[in-house]
Amino acid sequence: MINNIDDKQYKMIVDYIMKDKEFNKISSSFHHGTDRLTHSIKVSYYSYLITKKLGLDYKTTATAGLLHDFFVTSNDKTFKESASSLFNHAKIAAKNAVDKFEISDKEKNIIETHMFPLTLKPSKFIEGWIVSFVDKGVGIFEFGVKFRYAITLWLIFVFNIMK
Ligand SMILES: [Fe+2]
Ligand SMILES: [Fe+2]
């Protein structure tokens, strides 16, 4: 995914994270029908583009976006494990990012709050709201691609009963 991005400035900002072996382990976890690394790069890059356009702190956004799901999970989680991960992975990702990269308080806040409103506290920063919003948009799109056949069948069914 990162190789498809032709943006030298973005690549320079996230280079130290992308070169890290431990961080790259997230590519082994399934995530919304893709892998967690691909998902994280999308969230980071789209959030970076939006914040850059708006004259906001795009560097912090790029790094926090890339680290927002920095945790590794097994690919055969139970339903209960998946459900609890929904609520606690943001804190785990923030802790991993602090331990590994000594991130700033702003980056930590963006990561910790990206699951708002599931996790009750929203971000203190506009960049955090943007990462959270982009994460949901990317996630919905990834789910859509994963379940496209089911969605198509469901739409055919709905159109047929409405006829
Ligand atoms: Fe997440
Ligand atoms: Fe995410």
Give the model confidence (pLDDT) of 53-88 as tens digits.
999 999 999 999 999 999 998 877 777 777 788 899
Q: Hey, what amino acid is at 133?
A: F
90 C-alpha to center of ligand 1: Å?
A: 6
93 C-alpha to center of ligand 1: Å?
A: 8
Distances (CA, A) of 97 to 143, 145, 161: 26, 29, 50
> Taking 90 as the threshold, does the pLDDT of residue 119 lie above it?
no
> Taking 80 as the threshold, does the pLDDT of residue 1 lie above it?
no
> Taking 70 as the threshold, does the pLDDT of residue 146 lie above it?
no
- How many CB atoms sit inside 10 A of residue 43's CB? 26
Where does the pLDDT of residue 161 fall: very low under 50, low under 70, confident under 90, or very high at 90 and above?
confident
Domain boundaries of the chain, sorted by first residue: 2-162
Distances (CA, A) of 32 to 26, 52, 83, 130, 142: 13, 27, 14, 20, 6
52 C-alpha to center of ligand 1: Å?
A: 22
113 C-alpha to center of ligand 1: Å?
A: 9
Q: Tell me the pTM.
A: 0.88
Region 2-162: CATH code: 1.10.3210.10
Quick one: average pLDDT of 134-156? 80
61 C-alpha to center of ligand 2: Å?
A: 14
Least confidently predicted of 2-6, 47-51, 99-103, 105-109: 2-6
1-5, 70-74, 153-157: which is most confident: 70-74
User: Mean pLDDT across the chain, nearest whole number?
Assistant: 91
How long a stretch of residues is the chain? Answer: 163
Mark 80-98 as b/e (b = at least 16 C-beta within 10 Å): eeeeeeeeebbebbbebbb
Give tens-digit pLDDT for 17-31. Answer: 999 999 999 999 887
Name the region of 61 (left: φ>0; alpha: ψ -120 to 50; beta: rest). alpha
Distances (CA, A) of 158 to 100, 148, 152, 154, 163: 49, 15, 10, 6, 9
